[in-house]
Amino acid sequence: MKFKNTLLMLGVFTIFTPSAQATQATSELFDAKCAMCHTKTMPTDMSKVVAPALMGVMRHIKMSYPNKDEAVKFMVDYILEPTKEKAICMPQKIERFGLMPSQKGNVSQDELTQITSWMFDNFPPENFRGMGQGNRYGKGQVSQ
């Protein structure tokens, strides 16, 4: 019986390890490609902020695109070819930070798909409410 329990635990560990490794690898990819501008946590010194924090960005994304596939498609397109017309952030954010520069040549479409999917799954945190109106679940959506 002890041997069966050990095999079961080994099987469970094997099943979850690749997913955890993929999540960690994607988090590191975000750190390498995006974190120089977008922080994962709320900044404490706003004078050093060069772009909106990830949790605020994702709050606005989810308000406009509550469906993950649509959100990922939007983000990949916007990151590669940003325009004011496509922007969904508050206008004062563009006034403060400017329009996000295109990341063509800095990150591949495959990397962006991986990063933006991870962003959708992990941000904002459950308790995040932001500074404006709305919620993390999208238009007309409520927590489950």
CA–CA distance from 8 to each of 1, 3, 4, 21, 69 (Å)?
11, 9, 6, 20, 34
Of the two residues 1 and 46, the one the predictor is more confident about is: 46
Handedness of CA 114, 138, 102, 28 (dihedral sign): negative
pLDDT digits (tens, 9 = 90+) for 66-123: 999 999 999 999 999 999 999 999 899 999 999 999 999 999 999 999 999 999 999 9
The whole-model pTM stands at 0.76
Q: 25-40+50-139 maps to which CATH number?
A: 1.10.760
pLDDT tier, 125 (very low <50, low <70, confident <90, very high otherwise): confident
